[in-house]
Amino acid sequence: MSEKIVAANWKMNKDVVESAEFAKELSKKILNVKKTGVILSPPYTSLFNMNEILKDTIVSLSGQNMHFEDAGAFTAEISAKMLNSVNCEYVILGHSERRHVFNESDETIKKKIDKAFASGLKPILCVGEKLEERKSENTAQRLETQYTSAFEGVSEEDFSKCIIAYEPVWAIGTGETATPEQADEAHLLIRKLTEEKYDKELANDLKILYGGSVKPHNAQELIETENIDGFLVGGASLQVQSFYEIIEIVENYLT
């Protein structure tokens, strides 16, 4: 069975001291984790220190977002070069909060995807539908639109470095979770889109994470779903123990 991934998106939580304490504690807990990839996405202010703490562990670092320009008069933004300088391997792009709170368009996200690839960063592209889109049975259409826009003109070589996270907007931070059947249906659609655009091998190799109120109590049934390759965890990643329990569930499933 292929490696699976558990990624944490801390959003606007944890200062430098809190982030360092979390990293030190987690690094002790994951010494026996062998088959599960672990990614942490702390606030930008914590990336430098966490890189130093985690450099000899299995944990990879990710930015929570980035601008598509290299530099310039873009107050409060961060560039790919800045993420590279603190050894980020990944960057989360297209998160629903960026799309719907900060009004990022598919076109803007596409520019960021291209910049990430050009800069040697691996995008974690978030896609997902709003509640009204699911109720009106437009989930597939929305996912296809987001997918097609993001990967237009992207080569097979670049695409192979990408992770996709399916995050139904109605399940993020709400306590609601997509059923395993709903999640599998969406993940399968993404694989089919990949097979149609590229080929079956790339579709099978693609890592598709589920995000949306993932907790230790629901991680087991979700990870047993055929097309789920891991999780992008929000609230449950803010406590070391609950995040580790999710990692442990995935690791034990692979063993």
CATH, residue 178: 3.20.20.70
Domain that holds residue 13: 4-254
Q: How many domains does the chain have?
A: 1
Q: Which residues are catalytic?
A: 95, 167
With CA atoms as reference, report the closest residue to 42 among 68, 27, 20, 75.
20
Alpha-carbon torsion (68, 71, 76, 79), positive or negative? positive
Residues 6+ apart with CB under 8 A from 102: none
The confidence score (pLDDT) of residue 70 equals 97
Calculate the CA dihedral of residues 9, 15, 20, 22 and round it to 10 degrees.
-50
User: How many other C-beta atoms lie within 10 A of the C-beta of residue 160?
Assistant: 14
Which residue ranges in the chain fall short of pLDDT 50? Answer: 1
The confidence score (pLDDT) of residue 158 equals 98
pTM for the full model?
Answer: 0.96
User: How many other C-beta atoms lie within 10 A of the C-beta of residue 155?
Assistant: 10
CA distances from residue 99 to 105, 121, 196, 229 in whole angstroms, order as listed: 6, 20, 26, 24
The confidence score (pLDDT) of residue 2 equals 58
Q: In whole angstroms, what is the distance from residue 172 CA to residue 99 CA?
A: 13
pLDDT in tens, 194-207: 999 999 999 999 99
The confidence score (pLDDT) of residue 1 equals 36
